[in-house]
Amino acid sequence: MNKLFFIVVLLLSFAKGYGQKIDYPLNNRVTINYQDYMVYAHFTRDERTIHIDDDKYYYWFAYNDIKKTRGGYDGKILHGLYTAFYMNKNLKEKGKFHYGLKKGEWKEWYRNGELKGKGFYKKGERNKSFTTYYNNGRVKQKGTYKKGLLNKKLKSYDSSGVWIKTERYKKGVLVPQKVRAVKVKKRRSLFNKKKKNSPAVDSLGMPFKSEKKKFFRNPLKRKSVPVQSGVEQKKPKKEKKVKDKSAIRVRKLRKVVPADTEKSNI
């Protein structure tokens, strides 16, 4: 009976272990001591699903050191949590690896504990938004990555938090800023400038200077000027002289003096 119970328990333990996949057990963690910081990292021995990309950097462990190479590795590839500490026990860097490539959110800190920067990775390439900071906690830069290249706006600030400049990138290339042409408006003369919704006549019913010029410029095109009360005021016309045809025209004759009556001085 005891043997049968032992066999059943053993079979159940094997079935449970076969159905559960352990990516990084405790014995797959390494501890590396450097001169000014310490690293805790995990690695995996399951390398069957790894497809090497020649354009990406892979992180792996060998000879008590973490290596970084593009397009390959030759050791225990990092897979799982990665944490680095300063000698004063403050965090230095923290993130996660997925078969040698950085994945998800990564953060860095200064020695005094202030956040240095944060960003996201996808398949070993920087992706989405990122932010960097000064050692006093102020924002230094804000931007966006797409497939490892700067993309869209990159804002820069000074150590006091004042905005310095904004640059625009497209697939890692800086886009030059367009110089906008400034339109210069023509200055109108004060005498020719018309006021909107202003009456054509003053309070006494007389036209303004601009209206007077129009009124007296051409007498054949004179128009009546409306008064504020709404009654039109016309300039009186000159009366024409009518000739009387019945009147007799009288001419004055010159006085004729006879020649013999003229005085002679001879």
Least confident of 5-19, 102-116, 131-145, 245-259: 5-19
In angstroms, the CA 137 to CA 74 distance is: 39
Does position 25 have pLDDT exceeding 80, yes or no? no
pLDDT reported for residue 16: 40
Residue 190 or residue 62, greater confidence: 62
Q: What is the bridge-based pairing of β-strands 65-70 and 232-233? A: unpaired
Q: What is the mean pLDDT of residues 5-32?
A: 52
Assign 50 a pLDDT band (cuts: 50, 70, 90): confident
pLDDT reported for residue 134: 95
Assign 17 a pLDDT band (cuts: 50, 70, 90): very low
Q: What is the mean pLDDT of residues 157-182?
A: 87
Locate the domains of the chain by residue range.
20-174
**Greatest Cα pair distance in the chain:** 197
pLDDT digits (tens, 9 = 90+) for 109-140: 999 999 999 999 999 999 999 999 999 999 99
In angstroms, the CA 257 to CA 214 distance is: 62
CA 138 from chain centre, in angstroms, equals: 22
